[in-house]
Amino acid sequence: MARELFGTDGIRGVAGEYPLDPRTVFALGEALGADITANARGDEVLFGADTRESSDWIAATVAAGLAHRGIRSRYAGVITTPGVAWLTRNGPFAAGVMISASHNPYQDNGIKIFGHSGFKLPDSEEHTIEQELLRLREGTPDPHAAGRPGNLPIEEHLDRQYLEYLRSTVDVRLDAVRLALDCGNGAASRLGPELFRSLGAEVVTVCAAPDGRNINLNCGALHPENLSKTVVGTGAAYGVAFDGDADRAIFVSRTGRIVNGDGVLLAAARAWKAAGRLRGGTVVSTVMANLGLEHALEAEKIGMVRTPVGDKYVLEEMVRRDAVLGGEQSGHIIFRDYATTGDGMLTALKVFEIARRSGLGLDELTSDLKVYPQKLVNIRVREKKGLLEHPAVAREIQRAEESFAGAGRVVVRFSGTEPLARVMVEGADEGKVESFSASIAAVIRQELGA
């Protein structure tokens, strides 16, 4: 079923513009309220937000729409996306709503919805809500012009519950360990340093001073090279970079080497298998996972299953297979025994626990991960349909696959959150990777470019 507004991670766009204009946001609240009432799931919804200047008014506007349907809203203030998921699952909430555009710049924002289970809503339920939203929007006046909504009062004890839970997931201390945290000027800016200091770590923070407009700005999980310099310069044992809503984490080793989600999955899978905790002996990742991860896991007799991009789809496959470990190269790692979504701070705790128990650093834990050359090219497109229906695009992909002859991969897809086509080419021959990524991107730009 085609969805107009919901992508792979909720609704996302430029704050103040469709579909994040006040009328549509209010109608979303009404539609969500109708869905909650129809399914008899209770009368409270939890809200959380990242640090964007638009987050508060978007949260308040969704809440106003919910109130129109008799649903009460409670607000945790600035908190991580996985924090909202955990609180929703473990509290009296029919649903959870996170206001965030994750790794996007501050001008963008988004609305992510969780059911009481703590899982993101299934596509079918998002479709139902979207259809009701579009119907309601036609008769919805601008709520801001009508003097609505007011401010949502923040209940500061809610994030305390989440931090206490995170501390309970590990049984090691970090006394005398120096950590460097790049909080991306986002949702982890206060919670991240507080969490690790409470476990005894000496924390060096960078980009932990949000001003509403500097979230993800040349920092965080998308720019770990800056953190690498901090780690080496301060002699930190580890570095962790979070994205805007802290559902992903990218690591830096003591030597300044960047370790992405593939490296984390390898280290965790090996540790979980050794402890007898890797149910089914399988890790779930996406089509973007490097071939090097697949080969390293094979050497450990650990299977790997690939899904479409999106931690939502990783989690669905994990549930289907009863797998306990999965994630994405981008840093979304799901420890299903502990969480229902990617959680950057939980991932950091688990990585540090593995390192402390093994007596090894990140360099040693991932030393056998051979990373195949991989090139990702983004092309802005005028519409997101018919990508592989263009003969010229299909021919160029086929030419690349025939040239690699099994020693490489081509993944071409639309972004689930932006008007982009993404081309990923990977293989042992770096020259071919560069050449084919450029040629496929050029054909897509010619056929579909904005």
Backbone angles phi and psi of 350, in degrees to 5: -70, -40
| DSSP-H helix ranges across 309-429 | 311-321, 344-358, 362-365, 391-404
Burial 100-133 (b: 16+ CB within 10 A, else e): bbbbbebebbbbbbbbbebbbbeeeebbbbbebb
Rounded Cα distance, 34 and 68, in Å: 10
Length of the chain: 450
Backbone angles phi and psi of 380, in degrees to 5: -70, 130
Looking up tokens 């370790």, which residue turns up? 259
Catalytic site includes residue 102 = yes
Are 205 and 181 spatial neighbours (Cβ–Cβ below 8 Å)? yes
Are 343 and 82 spatial neighbours (Cβ–Cβ below 8 Å)? yes
Tokens of residue 175, six digits: 């006394």
Cβ neighbors of 111 (< 8 A, separation 6 or more) are 10, 11, 12, 20, 25, 28, 58, 62, 97, 98, 99
Cα 380 to chain centroid, rounded: 21
Within a 10 A sphere around the Cβ of 320, how many other Cβ atoms?
11
Cβ neighbors of 378 (< 8 A, separation 6 or more) are 415, 420, 421, 422, 423
Q: Pick the catalytic residue: 55, 73, 100, 102?
A: 102
Looking at the DSSP bridge assignments, the partners of residue 202 are: 178
Tokens of residue 6, six digits: 């919901």
* Residue 429, burial from CB neighbour count under 10 angstroms (0-12, 13-18, 19+): middle
Burial 171-208 (b: 16+ CB within 10 A, else e): eeebeebbbbbbbbbbbbbbbbbebbeebebbbbbbbb
Are 12 and 104 spatial neighbours (Cβ–Cβ below 8 Å)? yes
Task: Provide the annotated active-site residues.
Answer: 102
